[in-house]
Amino acid sequence: MRVPVRIVTDSASDLSQALADELGIRIVPLTVRLGSDDFLDRVGLSPSELWARCSTASGLPETAAPAPAQFERAYHGLADAGAREVVVVTVSSLLSGTMQSAELAARSLTGSLRIAVVDSRSATTGLGMIAVAAARRANAGGSLADVVALVQDLAGRTQVCAALESLDHVGVRTGGARARLASALSLKPIVELREGRFGPVGYQRSRSSSLRALVHRVQAAGPIDALGVFHADSTDVDRLVTSLALLAPAPLMVTDVGAAAFALCGRGAVGVAYQRRSGPNA
């Protein structure tokens, strides 16, 4: 029996291990630094543990791309399990050096394994949803070319937006004087992943209006194929989930973000990831 194409992603996808195991997705962890301590994201430090440690820390965590050796171990493990073709779906190459590590590791392997590395141009639940769709296509018998084409298509149709508490001490490009004025007025920024990077797309006066703005962005997108919600220790994520329930084409994926998104967006961030429908019914 033919072994399906296997999917590898990184921990910036914020996929739960249970879902990854169910679909056969291999997750390579980023490294997290808190003060002088290093951890493997979502392995040595769960999202809830990360949030707790950051609540008493003076700064946000720093993250580093996995070393090529970590991807090599993942590839060898899949080859030992019988895989012959692998698609690696990485966090946006403009946010991390993870894709470069995955490519270096792929070039070090010869002969036994065909590896295609694809830039998702996304992060957090957006990346996670792309990896899930890739795994489902592979498990349904899709070829390596089929899966790569799907990932490339979804990379262009996946949007990620988040409501932040502020732009202070987060890794989002602030946009200069306008963002500084918004910060001084205590406005709440809405950020979007555009061309592989996060940047502000608007500001709201209150948290309630920020959540409404996220719902409006999903509504304005037109028909969608998938919808997810992510949050970084947010107390009102359930409000957003309830507001979006009727817009979701399937059960919502709700994700606790790990270190990569936490470092970009900060405590209290809540966001949406959605895939616009393509084709004649879009």
Q: Which range has the top average pLDDT, 31-45, 47-61, 124-138, 157-171? A: 124-138
| Tens-digit pLDDT profile for residues 81-108 | 999 999 999 999 999 999 999 999 999 8
pLDDT above 70 (res 177): no
Share of the chain above pLDDT 70, in %: 90
Average pLDDT, the chain: 89
Band (pLDDT 50/70/90 cuts) for residue 145 is very high
| Tens-digit pLDDT profile for residues 222-244 | 999 999 999 999 999 999 999 99
Band (pLDDT 50/70/90 cuts) for residue 262 is confident
Query: What's the pLDDT at 98?
Result: 98
pTM exceeds 0.85, yes or no: yes
Query: What's the pLDDT at 196?
Result: 86
pLDDT above 90 (res 179): no
Band (pLDDT 50/70/90 cuts) for residue 198 is confident
Query: What's the pLDDT at 274?
Result: 97
Band (pLDDT 50/70/90 cuts) for residue 61 is confident
Band (pLDDT 50/70/90 cuts) for residue 280 is very low
pLDDT above 50 (res 199): yes
CA-to-CA distance for 191 and 7, rounded, in angstroms? Answer: 29
Q: Greater confidence, 203 or 228?
A: 228
Query: What's the pLDDT at 282?
Result: 47
The label of the residue with tokens 């291999």 reads 26
